[in-house]
Amino acid sequence: MTNAQATETYPGELADVPGWFPPLDQMLFTWFLERQQKQGMRGDLLELGVYMGKSAILLGHHLQDGEKFTVCDLFEGDAPDGANQAEATKSYASLTQQAFERNYLSFHDTLPTVIAAPSSVVTEKVAPGTCRFVHVDASHLYEHVHADIGAAHDILMPEGIVVLDDFRSEHTPGVSVAAWEAVLNRGLRPVCLSTQKLYGTWGDPEPLQEELLDMLRQRTDCGLSVQEAAGH
Ligand SMILES: C[S@@+](CC[C@H](N)C(=O)[O-])C[C@H]1O[C@@H](n2cnc3c(N)ncnc32)[C@H](O)[C@@H]1O
């Protein structure tokens, strides 16, 4: 992962916020979150790994009355092990909690609940079965992603959505191993894949897939292919 440039200015639009959140994923997040809202699903939102807030800002736009949004990041704090510290130093050296909060408050009146700590603490802070959407985008090292996926499973509601970032990049094999391990051995059902992210559920993916296909077939700006692999 390359370093996104931090800015000292207040962002006017999401494109001004440094980070890694491609337009296709912005569209897919919006679709999944709006579908949940249309279906009357209520539940909290969680993001592990916010960096400067690019995806968190979009998530915050979908918060319904009475729902809670929690984010977790190391920010300037120490990582729990040397490999994670090296990852943070290499890719996120310019990150501060203040920069995240400044960016977030350029788009929203109030901050989410911010956990400035390793993602391993999240199960102590967010109750089981409470979230409708969890974005796993913190460390890309296998041991951390494996644990983050386990936490997402515990924290999600039965039909909730988990999104795993960087599940297939050449520089993040740990995410790939943890993601496909979750599919093959931990009951995760993939709903769709974008270039960067795997969207999954521990509920039933089929109604979601049918509606998603309907939506995507009407768009001329998205390539689409349907694949089957190992029964998924
Ligand atoms: C790829 S960036 C997140 C990108 C962000 N979601 C966006 O939209 O641009 C990964 C973030 O995870 C954080 N991180 C790395 N290891 C972590 C850990 N063990 N626990 C919590 N956060 C961690 C980093 O500080 C960094 O901000």
Instruction: Please tell me if the CB atom of residue 84 comes closer than 6 angstroms to any atom of ligand 1.
Output: yes
Q: What is the pLDDT of residue 7?
A: 57
Q: In testing the pocket of ligand 1, which one of 58, 92, 94 has its CB within 8 Å of the most ligand atoms?
A: 92
Cα 50 to middle of ligand 1, angstroms:
5
Q: In testing the pocket of ligand 1, which one of 73, 122, 124, 164 has its CB within 8 Å of the most ligand atoms?
A: 73
Instruction: Please tell me if the CB atom of residue 29 comes closer than 6 angstroms to any atom of ligand 1.
Output: no
Q: What is the pLDDT of residue 221?
A: 87
Q: In testing the pocket of ligand 1, which one of 3, 16, 50 has its CB within 8 Å of the most ligand atoms?
A: 50
Instruction: Please tell me if the CB atom of residue 100 comes closer than 6 angstroms to any atom of ligand 1.
Output: no
**In Å, how far are 184, 204, 210 from 214, measured between CA atoms?**
27, 17, 6
Q: What is the 3-state secondary structure (H, E, C) of the chain?
A: CCCCCCCCCCCCCHHHCCCCCCHHHHHHHHHHHHHHHHCCCCCEEEEECCCCCHHHHHHHCCCCCCCCEEEEECCCCCCCCHHHHHHHHHHCCCCCHHHHHHHHHCCCCCCCEEEECCHHHHHHHCCCCCEEEEEECCCCCHHHHHHHHHHHHHHEEEEEEEEEECCCCCCCHHHHHHHHHHHHHCCCEEEEECCCEEEEECCCCHHHHHHHHHHHHCCCCCCCCCCCCCCC
Domains of the chain: residue spans and CATH: 14-217 (3.40.50.150)
Ligand 1 atom nearest to 52, measured from its CA: 9
pLDDT averages per 10-residue partition of the chain, 232 residues: 59 93 96 97 98 98 97 97 95 94 96 98 98 98 98 98 95 96 97 96 97 92 88 89
Q: What is the pLDDT of residue 9?
A: 73
Ligand 1 atom nearest to 80, measured from its CA: 19
Instruction: Please tell me if the CB atom of residue 49 comes closer than 6 angstroms to any atom of ligand 1.
Output: yes
Q: What is the pLDDT of residue 3?
A: 52
Cα 137 to middle of ligand 1, angstroms:
6
Ligand 1 atom nearest to 79, measured from its CA: 19
